[in-house]
Structure 1
Amino acid sequence: MSDLLNHKLDRVFAQLDADGNGFVDETDVTALVGRVVTSFALAPDSAETVTRTCRSLWSALLENSDAEGDGIVSSTEFRAGLIKVTSPNVYAGSFRAAVDSLLALGQQPDRLTAEEWTKIRAALGTSEARAGILFDLLDEDRRGSLAVEQLAAAIREYYTSTDPGTIGNSLF
């Protein structure tokens, strides 16, 4: 695995490790989902969709990374598991479903506004200023909103690309 990919996955791990104990577990995932649900003031059915898909992703990650079977994932396990979960044969399932559920939180079915993007990023611990910078980088067509398909591709790129010049690498 490249140094760049390790660095990117370590950044994601740090964002997911809500309690800072050096491991990601179900409590951390629940905290992330709670932040998303709160920031969007989601109706119960939407909250359930986000919760279900994020838990499914967590289950897939746990299945592919928890070498000790203790329900917690170290940063080393996280790297190995995320590589498996983002592989083409697994990505279309739980990982893409979780991405889609988060990106579907916008008012438009195929785009996210700057405000919606900032809410998602805030749930991941990104500052409003940094979210704005990321939005501007990703808004390639300058429509003032981000195409969901473009974002999904950039997210996939972030988790898989070793090319430092790709737009997806700016996500975290």
Structure 2
Amino acid sequence: MKQVLQHRIDSTFAHYDVNGNGVIELADVYALADRLLRAFGEPASSERGRDLVEAYDRFWEMLVDHCDADRDGRIGPEEYRDAMIEMVVEGGPINMGFLEIVQSLLDLMDTNGDGRVDADEFQVLLKARGLGADECGLAFAHLDTDGDGAISVQEYVAAVRDYYTNPAEDTPGSWLYPKALQRT
């Protein structure tokens, strides 16, 4: 059980270390934001683009506050692992900053402006994370836990907590990142 959760933490570290240099830095966080903006065809200069970049700035600040133990502006794998275990696996609170980041991400995904993130909109995010079309449909079905045809902030946050705390396969959280990243 612990090995599965450890692997998931290490996998998300690898996802966040976009340039693959072994540490998470501000440049990696901006690269993630840029990847999403490009996937959604949203310019960084638009209101939604600026909101996403600002949310990723807050995400970086949250990562540094919680993970950068030596305060060098770089988060190594051990720092990340220790902080994630303390914050999420051991039941630490998911703070309001994280909820704002999730809301900005979901706002960006809501490309038709109907206030909901449907399967087609969510698929863009998952494809940017490396899932194929078939996996995107399955992932959406797992994350839409109330079956209303949309992913809410609450469902997404519950899936994040599930990803880090529940080692079982085919749970909502197990579908947040590509299956290839989760294999042990």
Residue 93 and residue 142 in structure 1: after superposition, are their counterparts in 2 closer, same or farther (change >3 A)? closer
Give TM-score scaled by structure 2 length: 0.78
> 1:32 Cα shift?
0.5
Residue 59 and residue 125 in structure 1: after superposition, are their counterparts in 2 closer, same or farther (change >3 A)? farther
- Where 1:22 maps in the other structure, the secondary structure is coil
Calculate the aligned-residue CA RMSD, in Å: 2.4
Partner of 1:167: 172
Superposed, 1:98-117 pairs within 5 Å as: 98-105=101-108, 106=110, 107-109=113-115, 111-117=116-122
Unaligned ranges ≥5, structure 2 = 178-184
> 1:144 Cα shift?
4.1
Distance 1:104 1:171 in 2: 17
Are 2:25 and 1:22 equivalent residues in the alignment? Answer: no
Partner of 1:3: 3
Distance 1:138 1:162 in 2: 14
- Where 2:151 maps in the other structure, the secondary structure is strand
Distance 1:7 1:114 in 2: 27
Task: Select 1:119's aligned residue among 119, 124, 131.
Answer: 124
Of residues 29-38 and 112-121 in structure 1, the stretch that sits farther from structure 2 once superposed is 112-121
Distance 2:142 2:60 in 1: 29
> 1:101 Cα shift?
0.9
Are 2:64 and 1:62 equivalent residues in the alignment? Answer: yes
Structure with bigger strand share is: 1
> 1:163 Cα shift?
4.9
Identity of aligned residues (%): 31
Partner of 2:182: none
| Corresponding pairs, count | 168
Give TM-score scaled by structure 1 length: 0.82
Unaligned ranges ≥5, structure 1 = none
Distance 1:99 1:148 in 2: 7
Distance 1:37 1:129 in 2: 23
> 1:142 Cα shift?
4.8
